[in-house]
A and B are shown apart, each in its own frame.
Chain A
């Protein structure tokens, strides 16, 4: 059973608008969450992370929100740019596993339309 779920395989957004990518998790032991971005023919690149002691982390145009009670996190990209078009993976880890066990979602393909 998938412990990290990205239920939207794809998302299209107009350039300049907000992109919201969602992620749900089932394992209540997860306490650290990461977003990775992947372009075709490249490996995933770390984007932003959040610890469970926070509910928001911001880095430039990227903000991650965490709702622990709902076991839900989201990545907001504002404003969206064509270069943001990529597959975005949500990942989570728990204290016992340290950083070794990153559990990934299936990814959401974001297309930003110029």
Chain B
């Protein structure tokens, strides 16, 4: 148990569906992240939230819409996805520090299949 919980663990959706992925961290961290891991590719950072404010959006298509209502919860809203969006979606969190580097802690991920 890493302290980062993602639901659901598996999701199958059609291209016209709307669904949401949820992430909750119990570590008291103030930064949260969404990553995408496709087969045979490195983890790709999608979004970063620091103190609930989005600080990074790595050219992610608008069919992915993040929401961070507080520093413990992060959502990824999905709509009109494409089959190539099928992947493992990972949430992570970290604590911003003035010195040293932050370690990101990951959830178990949501395995998404778009039909």
Chain B residues lying within 8 Å of A34, measured Cβ to Cβ, are 103
**A66-114 contacts to B (CB < 8 Å):** 89, 93, 98-107
Query: Inside 8 A of A46's CB, which chain B residues have their CB?
Result: 103-105
Instruction: With A2-B42, A42-B108, A45-B2 as known contacts, state yes or no: A100 contacts B101, CB within 8 Å.
Output: no
Which one of A43, A51, A103, A107 has the greatest number of beta carbons of chain B within 10 Å?
A43
Looking at chain A, what size class is its interface with the partner chain?
Answer: 20 to 34
| B81 within 8 A of partner (CB) | no
Q: Quick check: B42 and A105 within 8 Å, CB to CB?
A: yes
Number of residues from B at the complex interface, CB < 8 A: 27
CA distance A106 to B6 in the complex (A): 22
The answer to whether B107 and A43 touch across the interface, beta carbons within 8 angstroms, is yes
Measured in the bound complex, the distance between the Cα atoms of B55 and A98 in whole Å is 12
Instruction: Given the known inter-chain contacts A43-B2, A43-B4, A43-B90, please indicate yes or no for A102 contacting B42, CB distance below 8 A.
Output: no
Are B103 and A89 interface neighbours, CB within 8 A?
Answer: no
Q: Which of B4, B33, B101 contacts A32 (CB 8 A)?
A: B101
Q: How far is the CB of A1 from chain B (nearest CB, A)?
A: 12
Since A34-B103, A43-B6, A49-B103 are in contact, a sample of 9 more A-B pairs with Cβ atoms closer than 8 Å, ordered by chain A residue number, is A43-B2, A43-B107, A45-B106, A46-B103, A51-B101, A98-B102, A99-B31, A100-B33, A105-B42
| Interface residues in chain A, defined as those with a beta carbon under 8 Å from any beta carbon in chain B | 2, 4, 32, 34, 36, 41-46, 49, 51, 89, 93, 98-107
